[in-house]
């Protein structure tokens, strides 16, 4: 069946507003400009939408110049744009001008669609140990399990079927998704952990003997600092002796694997299906692309960038960008790619076989 396009479907997303252009500009950190700014000052806006589908009562944005053609055709009543694009906003629409359009869009979208507040209380089907300490403003969902001596802070939301192990501490305003399991962990304020994440399980540690393997007790913790986000089905092993640490404000995508004793700094970005082996250290602001793999005991410097599917087998200096497997500096990688392409176009440098020469694959045994 045909389904109409709806941004912020009310069945799934809370909605606030409407807001006038002054409120939108203040939220976006933008200045209202353009032919329609004065006339639209009193108009109320009801939501946000993409350029191609926005109507006169909606706000849109342009951050990527690849979509500039859509700007000239949009029916949006207001568009968040960079100063360089303000003159391209159609007549009748207000340009909300800011040096950071995407940041402005994030703030305006959150203005119209704020995260729903927790509904204080414990679901009747939840199982809560009597020694657990739960702030009265927290929400504990159906069939959730809260272990002994766990601490749940103010306005925390615990989703259905989540399991919070004994002694776990969860800071104020954290959001724990359905079917998440957390053990041996201290979770900071405003942390978001999405459904199905596994935090604090045993790390992959064992001694090798002639008779087989002997598991090494994993007696560290997981520390997730304030404002971090952990994607759905991501796994973070607890430390073997030291702690595994996820720094403040870092973003881990879905399906990321973090091994024991890994230390991830502040504001790092780890994209889906990346894997970080034990005891590797990422300094602040590191970015790792999807399916990147890092072996253990590495040191990745501040603001280093690791390309998608890179295989990192050596330390990476601060500010460096590496790609490929094994990973190497971007310039060296693409120089090698260019060389291979030249060889491919010229036949790989082979000399032509003269008449009478034996074929390359002929049996010359006798």
Out of 82, 113, 184, 260, which one is annotated catalytic?
A: 260
Distance from C-alpha of 51 to C-alpha of 35, rounded to nearest angstrom: 18
Taking CA 227 as the corner, what is the angle to CA 222 and CA 230, rounded to the nearest 5 degrees? 55
Q: Are residues 231 and 306 in contact, defined by beta-carbon separation less than 8 angstroms?
A: no
**Both structure tokens of 148:** 């002994």
Closest CA to 103 of 15, 27, 51, 14: 27
Residue 299 annotated as catalytic = no
Distance from C-alpha of 243 to C-alpha of 9, rounded to nearest angstrom: 41
Distance from C-alpha of 147 to C-alpha of 133, rounded to nearest angstrom: 10
In terms of phi and psi (left: phi > 0; alpha: psi -120 to 50; beta: otherwise), the region of 185 is: beta
Q: Which residues are catalytic?
A: 260
């Amino acid at each position: 069946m045909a389904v109409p396009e709806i941004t912020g479907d009310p069945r799934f997303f809370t909605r606030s507003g409407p807001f006038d252009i002054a409120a939108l500009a203040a939220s976006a950190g933008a200045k209202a400009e353009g032919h329609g700014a004065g006339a639209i000052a009193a108009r109320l806006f009801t939501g946000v939408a993409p350029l191609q589908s926005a109507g006169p009562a909606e706000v849109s944005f342009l951050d990527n110049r690849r979509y500039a053609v859509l700007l000239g055709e949009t029916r949006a009543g207001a568009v968040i744009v960079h100063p360089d694009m303000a003159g391209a906003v159609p007549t009748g629409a207000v340009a909300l001008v800011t040096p950071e359009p995407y940041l402005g869009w994030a703030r305006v979208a959150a203005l119209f669609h704020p995260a729903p507040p927790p509904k204080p209380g414990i679901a009747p089907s939840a199982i809560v140990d009597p020694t657990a300490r739960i702030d009265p403003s927290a929400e504990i969902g159906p069939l959730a399990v809260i272990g002994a001596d766990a601490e749940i802070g103010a306005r925390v939301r615990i989703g259905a079927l989540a399991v919070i192990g004994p002694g776990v501490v969860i800071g104020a305003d954290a959001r724990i998704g359905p079917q998440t399991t957390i053990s041996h962990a201290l979770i900071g304020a405003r942390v978001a952990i999405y459904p199905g994440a596994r935090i604090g399980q045993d790390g992959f540690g064992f001694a090798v003997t002639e008779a087989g393997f002997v598991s090494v007790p994993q007696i560290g913790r997981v520390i997730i600092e304030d404002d971090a986000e952990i994607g759905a089905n991501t796994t973070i092993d607890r430390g073997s002796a030291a702690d595994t640490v996820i720094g403040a404000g870092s973003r881990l995508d879905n399906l990321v694997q973090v091994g024991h004793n890994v230390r991830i700094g502040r504001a790092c970005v780890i994209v889906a299906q990346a894997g970080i082996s034990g005891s590797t250290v990422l300094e602040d602001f590191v970015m790792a692309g999807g399916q990147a793999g890092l072996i253990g005991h590495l040191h990745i410097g501040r603001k280093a960038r690791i390309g998608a599917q890179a295989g990192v087998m050596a330390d990476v200096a601060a500010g460096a960008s590496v790609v490929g497997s094994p990973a190497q500096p971007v310039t060296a990688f693409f120089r090698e790619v260019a060389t291979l392409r030249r060889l491919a176009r010229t036949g790989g440098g082979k000399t032509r076989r003269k008449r009478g020469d034996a074929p390359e694959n002929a049996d010359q045994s006798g």
